[in-house]
Amino acid sequence: MAKWYTQYAKVYDQEVGSIDNDVIEKVRAQIQLSTSSDPIISIVVIAYNEERKLLACLWSLAEQRCNLPMELIVINNNSTDQTESILKRLGVTYHNELKQGPGFARQCGLDQARGKFMLCVDGDTMYPPSYVETHVKVLDRPGVSATFSLWSFLPLARQSRTFLWIYEGLRDIYLNLQYIKRPELCVRGMVFSFKTDLGREVGFRTDIKRGEDGSMALGLKHYGKLKFIRSKEARALTGQNTLSADGSLANSFFVRLRKAIRSLSGLFSGKKHYHDDDSNKIE
């Protein structure tokens, strides 16, 4: 039986010129059909140089099984490749954010969002067909300000799937422990959703290179609970850019294991403020 992402994976990380035009036209049509002029849900995608992965991402979003009206917005964050050309070809609503950084891109999306709920998406990630519906069902509960879910990595050729499965399993255990007292540290922008009006009260930080998602989550704790969605229906699939930064998968595992051990004591106490490293500040 084919996995939910099989068709999207076929165009993931591929040159657009090599993709059948019928596929592109199909995605274009689906985007138009799934877009409402009076949305309750705003799906906001940020993209920086994602010409090879954006089609797969948008295709998965255009095929969401959700009865609530949605809008799809892409923030082109100063891309230097063909990202904008692809957006034009697909006929998707997009905005250019010339200030570099995920904080600027996500804040631009928040400024443009018209829905009651805003779902943050990364342009290199694919989403299962019930992802939006699963998030919104939890997010719509009283006393909930934000939701976040888990993610898996798309396996590379000749990579041990067993080791990747173990890696993700141990990470998920750590996230579940971390969620008890420090849920904001579990949040990743590609699987993060919140009530739009509350998000505007907090705002995304634009003075840091990374961590704008966790900072937003920390602020949202003042307005309600951050709910951890563990269902496979909300488990996204992304590339391995963050892992490849550490070299091999094995090396990435041990780098993160050492970090986890060093921060183990902090799992059992909450925190209201985090210190900014100078290296993470945007000058």
What is the arithmetic mean of pLDDT over 229-252? 81
Alpha-carbon distance 86 to 89, whole Å?
5
Q: Domain spanning 6-153+183-237 has what CATH number?
A: 3.90.550.10
Average pLDDT, the chain: 93
What is the arithmetic mean of pLDDT over 116-131? 98
Residue 66 has pLDDT above 90, yes or no: yes
What is the arithmetic mean of pLDDT over 191-209? 97
- Tell me if 91 sits within 8 A of 31, measured CB to CB: yes
Residue 83 has pLDDT above 90, yes or no: yes
Q: How many CA atoms lie within 13 A of 232 on its CB side?
A: 3
**pLDDT at residue 158, as a whole number:** 78
Neighbours of 241 (CB within 10 A): 11
What is the arithmetic mean of pLDDT over 176-202? 97
pLDDT range class, residue 243, cuts 50, 70, 90: low
Name every residue whose Cβ is closer than 8 Å to that of residue 89 and which is 6 or more positions away in sequence. 24, 28
**pLDDT at residue 283, as a whole number:** 74
Q: Considering Cα of 81, then 84, then 86, then 87, what sign does the dihedral take?
A: positive
Residue 120 to residues 5, 199, 230, 244: CA-CA distances in angstroms? 19, 11, 17, 23
**pLDDT at residue 267, as a whole number:** 74
Alpha-carbon distance 61 to 177, whole Å?
30
**pLDDT at residue 249, as a whole number:** 64
- Tell me if 193 sits within 8 A of 120, measured CB to CB: yes
**pLDDT at residue 178, as a whole number:** 94
Tokens of 125: 């990630």
Alpha-carbon distance 63 to 70, whole Å?
12
